Amino acid sequence: MPYQDNEQTLPSVAQQLQQGSAPEDLLLTVIFHPDMRRIGQVARVPRKAGLAPWVLGRRSPQFSGCGLPPAPLDEAHISRQAVELDFSGAQLTLNRFGGSSRCRCGEEEVFNSTTIGQERLRAGVPLVLSHSVVLMLRLTSRQEALPVADCADEADMAEIIGSSAAMATLRREIKAVAASDFDVLVRGETGSGKELVARAIHAASHRQARPLVSVNMAAIPEELAAAALFGSARGAFTGADRANPGYFRQAEGGSLLLDEIGDTPASLQPLLLRALQQREVQAVGGAIVPVNVRVISATDADLESPAQGFKSALHHRLAMAEISVPPLRERPEDIGELCRYFLQRSAPGLGREAVLPSPTTDARHIAVWANLFFLFSRYHWPGNVRQLENFVRQLLLDSAQTPQLNRRLLATLTADGKSSQKKGTAVRSRHMRDISDAEFEAAMVAQRFEAQAVARQLGVSRTSVYRRIESSSRYRLATQIPAAELRSALHAAQGDVDVVAQRLQVSATSLRRHARHLHASGDASDSPQG
């Protein structure tokens, strides 16, 4: 189907789908169970005044979902009647039966009774029953998961992991956008899964049989950007020994993903806007040719901010439809399913299949696994799904015989968890002087030296992170890297800025900006190669 230009816009697919404020349900989601097939199953806690309290234990209630028949937890180490939950008022009261199996609610060991307010319930509160099952208590909007038959083919959504209301909404948005031919802007924090959403949109669209070409706008040198996107004729510039079709023409009939669109150079933005409006491109030194391409762009940047320097006309043209990917901290009930997915995907390649839990695993190892999933469930995840995947991979690398987490990651998880349970999703207010060198180092490594993410994890200001780096003998800012050192490092890494950033222990985002600044200064010797 040829591209049809249409001035109609969809400023937010979520707004189109939303039909008033949805009522809320208190859900219990299985975060960990020795039978990992059951991770992601859900039970609803009734909210009815005057009725008998709701009993949670080995034989009740029934958990459903994940393609399995409804069933109770049925875990031998959990008492038949472990705790009762009374959600008749504005808060939840949790009462532990005398002599029943252990119950841990967030940071609190429940011996008798505890109450949980709605603010904490909306943020999500993990429960550990005995030493074997982890559940997530969360007050969330009433949103049934979208059946596979209603969201295109199962393969289209295979990498969109999570049974939460937020992910059900995201799948509906993907389905709605894929059915149109609008250009789409996918927004979300770093590591939240924007590229996966873009791939799902393409896979569910009528363009699925044609190419999906992915371009990282932050990785293209400004002086080569026009030729890279729109193509170049042979001899158009020094080194152009053959014609280059460009990314737009490579994606003919399919989709073009412009990742990190917020880093598009100012000089390229008018050319990109014209290509979108006219649906034609002009190769450098060549003719104008029409293109039939759907453009999907992605960013974590604030495009509306004047400081970003992004033209509003281009922003509006890219965002004929807009999808927001929720951060992981806003869907903690999905953490168990994501952990299972990453464990099962990574374990075979690392030779760690035998370490994974199963119903026949001994009780001691099950307890270790349950505690690890509990730690994951209460962490704030400033690096989102990508950070979770990195942690799971590191967990497998450290678990040659038994499941274990190295000291650095364990310190990161335990330091953040205490604050997350006390204040929900709120960022802590701490002084940098209270942060030890070990905690600062753990945050820097975990957040890949990105100052904003480090500040979020530590609960301090970004300015204080910059000051700590500047006063450190161990770390430095990307702007402090000499041009010669940067050029040499880029050459050794074959131009991969992310690899260079990790080797130099600096922010990849800042390093890209520093490289551009060096080139723009006019000193050719400072221009990074590759």
| 69-83 pLDDT tens trace | 999 999 999 999 999
What percentage of the chain exceeds 70 in pLDDT? 86
Q: What is the pLDDT of residue 262?
A: 92
Instruction: List the single range of 1-15, 327-341, 420-434, 461-475 with lowest mean pLDDT.
Output: 1-15
Q: What is the pLDDT of residue 223?
A: 85
Q: What is the pLDDT of residue 125?
A: 96
pLDDT bucket at 426, cuts 50 / 70 / 90: very low
Q: What is the pLDDT of residue 167?
A: 93
**What fold does the segment set 23-141 form as a domain?**
Tumour Suppressor Smad4 (2.60.200)
The stretch 2-16 carries a mean pLDDT of 45
Best-predicted range by mean pLDDT among 27-36, 90-99, 430-439? 27-36
Residue 143 has pLDDT above 60, yes or no: no
| 267-287 pLDDT tens trace | 999 999 999 999 999 888 788
Q: Judge contact between 379 and 421, C-beta under 8 A.
A: no
Residue 340 has pLDDT above 50, yes or no: yes
Instruction: List the single range of 84-93, 460-469, 493-502, 518-527 with lowest mean pLDDT.
Output: 518-527
Residue 421 has pLDDT above 80, yes or no: no
Residue 211 has pLDDT above 60, yes or no: yes
- The pairing of strands 91-96 and 113-117 is antiparallel
Q: What is the pLDDT of residue 429?
A: 53
148-324 to CATH, choices 3.40.50.1240, 3.40.50.1820, 3.40.50.300, 3.30.365.10: 3.40.50.300
Residue 152 has pLDDT above 50, yes or no: no
Best-predicted range by mean pLDDT among 363-372, 422-431, 463-472? 363-372
Residue-range domain boundaries for the chain: 23-141, 148-324, 478-526
Residue 319 CB neighbours (<10 A): 22
Instruction: List the single range of 227-236, 426-435, 438-447, 508-517 with lowest mean pLDDT.
Output: 426-435
pLDDT bucket at 21, cuts 50 / 70 / 90: low
Q: What is the pLDDT of residue 237?
A: 62
Angle, CA 65 vertex, CA 161 and CA 381 arms, to 5°: 35
Residue 15 has pLDDT above 80, yes or no: no
The stretch 434-445 carries a mean pLDDT of 85
Instruction: List the single range of 45-49, 185-189, 333-337 with lowest mean pLDDT.
Output: 45-49
61 preceded by a cis bond (ω within 30 of 0): yes
| Beta carbons within 8 Å of 291's beta carbon, 6+ residues apart | 248, 249, 251, 252, 275, 279, 280, 281
d(CA 460, CA 454): 8
Q: What is the pLDDT of residue 293?
A: 97
The stretch 255-265 carries a mean pLDDT of 94
| 364-402 pLDDT tens trace | 999 999 999 999 999 999 899 999 999 999 999 999 888
d(CA 138, CA 125): 6
| Complete DSSP assignment for 170-184 | HHHHHHHHHTS---E
Instruction: List the single range of 27-36, 112-121, 472-481 with lowest mean pLDDT.
Output: 472-481
- Give, as one character, the DSSP assignment of residue 474: S
Residue 444 has pLDDT above 80, yes or no: yes
Rg value, the chain, Cα? 25
For residue 296, the SS3 value is strand
Residue 89 has pLDDT above 80, yes or no: no
Equal CATH topology for 23-141 and 148-324: no
d(CA 167, CA 185): 18
Residue 113 has pLDDT above 50, yes or no: yes
CB-neighbour burial class of residue 410 (10 A; exposed 0-12, middle 13-18, buried 19+): middle
Best-predicted range by mean pLDDT among 229-243, 251-265, 430-444? 251-265
Instruction: List the single range of 465-469, 473-477, 511-515 with lowest mean pLDDT.
Output: 511-515
What is the average pLDDT score of the chain?
85
Residue 146 has pLDDT above 50, yes or no: no
